[in-house]
């Protein structure tokens, strides 16, 4: 048991240093944001990778082919009060078009680039199987989201799924998240096949919709 005088002193120091920090406008802004994160930490954004964040040239895996889609940085910056997850089907691994290593190198390149803009991806879940394997992790199946729900305490009903394919919109529906179709990647083709909660031109428009929806 700590002695009460010391405890009182420590409390005072903490209070004072917090007051000092709050005089810094930059800190004050971050602090407000963090408080918001505290409130929202169970509400997350789940993103597809290819055709949603990066240009999809078909089984994209070469670092040289890495290219962010337009407005991705701006969109993800807007979403920085949410935890961001990626869930991606990578049957190219199962089909031996590329190796798991290539996939990871490509992700590292992407994480580096996003990191330069202070964007953090909490976790990347990937399914390496081909559809014929009938695994439980290939979108629109829920294995990864169920895992994340448990591990991160996510409230899926309050969360968002963004992607360019039918499997993404269906993943959102299966998980009872709100689903957003982006018209990048395969989005224009997909549009005729699905009924998402919102159709966005790109990730920035999707992020703007989420920010508005979050205020409700």
- What does 181 interact with, of Mg ion, Zn ion, none (CB < 5 to 8 A by kind)? none
Contact region with Mg ion (CB under 5 A), list: 32-40, 141-149, 162-170, 202-210: 162-170
* Residue closer to Zn ion (CB basis): 131 or 153: 131
Structure tokens at 23: 């005089």
Q: Where are the alpha helices (DSSP H) in 71-202?
A: 72-78, 91-94, 100-116, 143-152, 166-174, 187-190
Residue among 137, 148, 154, 156 that touches Zn ion (CB under 5 A) = 137
Binding flags for Mg ion, 29-48, as an x/- string (CB under 5 A): -------------------x
Q: What residues contact residue 54 under an 8 Å CB cut-off, 6+ apart?
A: 60, 66, 67, 68, 69, 72, 110
**Shortest distance in whole angstroms from residue 92 CB to Zn ion:** 13
Residue 164 annotated among the catalytic residues of the structure: no
Of the candidates 41, 45, 37, the residue with the CA atom closest to the CA atom of residue 172? 45
170 in contact with Mg ion (CB under 5 A): no
Residue 155 annotated among the catalytic residues of the structure: no
* Residue closer to Zn ion (CB basis): 115 or 131: 131
Let me know: does 206 contact 200? Beta carbons within 8 Å: yes
* Residue closer to Zn ion (CB basis): 96 or 216: 96
- Buried residues in 195-215 as b, exposed as e (16+ CB within 10 A): ebbbbbebbbbbbebbeeeee
**Shortest distance in whole angstroms from residue 191 CB to Mg ion:** 14
Asked, as a colleague might, if the bond just before 140 is cis with ω within 30 of 0, I would say: yes
**Shortest distance in whole angstroms from residue 88 CB to Mg ion:** 7
Let me know: does 164 contact 48? Beta carbons within 8 Å: yes
Structure tokens at 46: 């789940």
Catalytic, out of 50, 168, 186, 202: 50
Residue among 43, 44, 45, 51 that touches Mg ion (CB under 5 A) = 51
In the region spanning residues 117 to 136, those forming contacts with Zn ion, defined by CB under 5 A, are: 127, 129, 135
Residue among 44, 50, 79, 194 that touches Mg ion (CB under 5 A) = 50
Q: What share of the chain is helix, strand, coil (3-state, %, to 5)?
A: 50, 15, 35
Which residues are known catalytic residues? 48, 50
Binding residues for Mg ion, rule: CB under 5 A, are 48, 50-51, 164-165
């Amino acid at each position: 048991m700590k002695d009460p005088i010391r405890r009182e002193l420590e409390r005072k120091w903490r209070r004072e240093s917090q007051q000092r920090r709050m005089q810094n406008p930059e800190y004050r802004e971050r602090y407000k944001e963090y408080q918001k994160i505290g409130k929202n930490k169970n509400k997350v954004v789940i993103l597809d990778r290819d055709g949603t964040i990066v240009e999809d040239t078909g089984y994209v895996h070469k670092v040289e082919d890495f290219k962010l889609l337009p407005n991705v940085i701006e969109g993800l910056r807007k979403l920085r009060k949410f935890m961001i997850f990626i869930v991606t089907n990578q049957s190219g691994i199962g089909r031996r078009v590329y190796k798991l290593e290539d996939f990871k190198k490509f992700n590292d390149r992407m994480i580096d680039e996003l990191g330069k803009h202070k964007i953090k991806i909490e976790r990347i879940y990937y399914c390496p199987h081909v559809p014929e394997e009938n695994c439980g992790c290939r979108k629109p199946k829920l294995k990864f989201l169920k895992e994340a729900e448990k591990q991160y305490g996510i409230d899926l009903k309050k969360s968002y799924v963004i992607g360019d394919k039918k499997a993404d919109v269906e993943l959102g529906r299966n998980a009872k998240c709100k689903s957003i179709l982006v018209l990048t990647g395969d989005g224009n083709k997909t549009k005729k096949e699905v009924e998402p909660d919102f159709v966005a031109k790109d990730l920035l428009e999707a992020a703007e919709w989420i920010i508005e929806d979050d205020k409700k």
